[in-house]
A and B are shown apart, each in its own frame.
Chain A
């Protein structure tokens, strides 16, 4: 067990290193000149002139060879030093620290909401296999996974906030302002988890030990709780881990629409302002968070399911 965890952690570390490298080379090494980009993000078109360019180049050490800059950047990134935002002129790490708790709050609310809906719904669909409830469930999951979340967000704002005036349009004042963003963010995950829960239950239901339990006269309710759920739930944990990626990606859009002060809004602002250190910081943070969540999920899964061979192979 310990060996499995150590092995997984080493793999994750290697992946994180490569993620950092890929982020550096996609974001940092823009085809244009970095100094121009900095001036552009601070002062727009008019700030770009030769005098300013020279000043910026010496200030940010841009005249050194690229590999030196790369190694320094990666090592600093692992230490949490992500540079200074061009736009806000504050350390990226400081800005992220302010915003991360809000994204976590929104993400947790969305995950909790979708787990609460999807698991009972998935179980019920499987128990009513090919009957009315199952068809309703299937159409429901197809529908909610087909509506674009940003559009649903806008419709909810029109209906719940502007017309009925029940909930705030956006921002983060009071506990009721989390409702709309969390609901929209949880949609995709709810659909995927419901389907997975249903098929996991169906897999378990066709096993011989269920027949054995029925044959010996065990009560149906007991079979469901003792035999089915116990075996059908663990695979769902992996799906939830993977769906967190969706939540993190979706948060970027949803936070933007609801003006939720999280990392997503920061990232979009940074992209629009070409604020390279900020983009790198946000992308790295999200990818790191996602990788670490999945590491934790894998470890929980290995603890629950003794069948997992501790080889560290994931495919």
Chain B
């Protein structure tokens, strides 16, 4: 058994045992290399194809003619890409309204959550006040109960408030989230307290400490909250489904797409185009802020 020195592209996490002093003699057999590349590519490349296939196929479909979508075997590439499908999808549906509504609701909720959750989380993390532990516990307990379970009573409350069939029904109940408070409280607790104490001694108010010291140190956490909240709101379906009953002017993208599919004897090339357009803002945000998504999921374990 030769003691070949592992090539540089061997896994960095692993030392070649034969290079170590005090070798026990149980040297791992050097891997024979049949391939000019890492064998994991043989698994990862097909995996990437499978994962991207539904998306790529949607893009291809959005560029076909209607006749081409009713063809078997499937037309894998349009002779001339039908970019007009995108305009046609906008013309044949209320896409503009859906998009605008979704944008309004999402932006309102993200901004409100950033403000309200920051205030509350700072108090929970730093201010000693009567009932703090109890209130925090009760809030966390509500995190255990998902919307699906309390769908009917939540609907009834929103109805009592006269919000059904308005964008208010989508915005108001989600202005603050327990998730945001929890996440930011955890983060604020990790910040060094000395700066804040020094500012307090200098007579700064709680609010100015929060704005001038804590918030600038917390931008990554706030960005994480913002992108996760954006994703949840943008993609939400169940809540708009039950609260926007008849008013089509208050439809969101998800709601609109769901009816688009039912209304038109499924014109796949147009539905595909509308679908791509509905995903675009989310995909762009993901590409720009991938690390905040990953951080949010890895540290908090949250998906919509």
Real complex partners, A and B?
no
Chain B residues in the interface with A (C-beta under 8 A): none
